[in-house]
Every structure is written in C-alpha cells, then in structure tokens.
Amino acid sequence: MEDRKFICPCYRHEEDIAETGHCICHLFVSDDYRPPKMESPPIREEGSPWPRIVVYGAYWCSDSMRTRRFLNRHGVPYTLVDVDEDPQVAQKVREWNNGFLSTPTLDIEGHIVTEPSDEELAKLLGIEA
C-alpha cells in the first residue's frame, strides 16, 4: 500500500479498497479481491422485439457494469465490445464523444447514447421502471 501513493495520489484508493475491495479505477485491489462476474448478454433470437444494441464498455468501468446489469435484468440482448481490446474501436468511441473515451457508449441501431442512466435506458427501450 505504501508505494501506491507514488503511482497515484488519489485519496479514494484507500477508502474504495476498504469498502469494495478495489479502487474506483481498479488499479489497486485488496489481496482477496475477486473481480465481479457478469452474466453474458442475453442471446438475440430471430424476430426479437429489441433493437440491435452494441455496448462499448470496459471491464473496470462501474457504469459499464451497471448498464450491462440493467440490460441483463430486463432480458435485452446486446453485443459487448471492450474498448481496451481494440484501438480502432476506442478511436470510434472518442469520435462519437468529442475526443473522450466515455464508457459505456451504446449504439442502438445507429443512435449513439453516452453513459445513459438506467432511467434513460428504460425510456429509450420502452421498459417500465
């Protein structure tokens, strides 16, 4: 823990690790930390009433995890693309977001939505809150 202040002076690391086992940026974790397991996206069936959705996110991003949990909970199929895995994808997300690598960014059949709240997603998808 002592060397962490030299890497990042953020005061939140110590607090976050004590509360959740990891810091908000997931750079530092407690010794017994296990990353949260996320369900796989629901499979898109032929004739699905849901629009085609691509979630551009990151495994360390709490908003990406929240969005995925929301979609999974409501049985909404989507394709997950990790922006950390593909520089071209990351560049596309930056272009959509004025140079920022904002996650999650969703492409809902050509409609780009950046960091939507659960309420915003519910409204966009016609889901009762």
Would 44 be classed as within a structural domain? no
Closest CA to 78 of 114, 59, 105: 105
Task: Please tell me the distance from the alpha carbon of residue 93 to that of residue 84, in angstroms, as a whole number.
Answer: 11
Question: Are 112 and 59 in the same domain?
Answer: yes
Q: Which domain holds residue 77?
A: 53-125
- CATH number of the domain residue 96 falls in: 3.40.30.10
- What are the pLDDT digits (tens) for 33-74? 666 677 888 888 988 999 999 999 987 788 998 999 999 999
Interstrand relation of 79-82 and 53-57 (parallel, antiparallel or unpaired): parallel
Cβ atoms of 44 and 52 closer than 8 Å = yes
Strands 79-82 and 105-108: unpaired
Residue 1's pLDDT band, with cuts at 50, 70 and 90, is very low
Say if residue 4's pLDDT is above 60: no
User: 58 and 114: one domain?
Assistant: yes
Give a yes or no: residue 84 inside a domain: yes
DSSP 29: B
Q: Please check whether residue 40 lies inside any domain of the structure.
A: no
Q: Is residue 61 included in any domain, yes or no?
A: yes
The pLDDT value recorded for residue 39 is 80
Residue 79: both structure tokens together: 């394709």
- 81-120 confidence digits (pLDDT tens): 999 889 999 999 999 999 999 999 999 999 999 999 999 9
Query: Mapping DSSP to helix (H, G, I), strand (E, B) and coil, where does residue 63 land?
Result: helix
**Domain annotation covers residue 59:** yes
Is 74 in the same domain as 17?
Answer: no
**Is residue 47, in this structure, part of any structural domain at all?**
no
Please report the pLDDT score of residue 15 as a whole number. Answer: 72
Q: Give how many domains the chain has, as a whole number.
A: 2
Peptide bond into 77 cis (omega under 30): no
Q: Are residues 67 and 120 in the same domain?
A: yes
Higher pLDDT, 15 or 121: 121
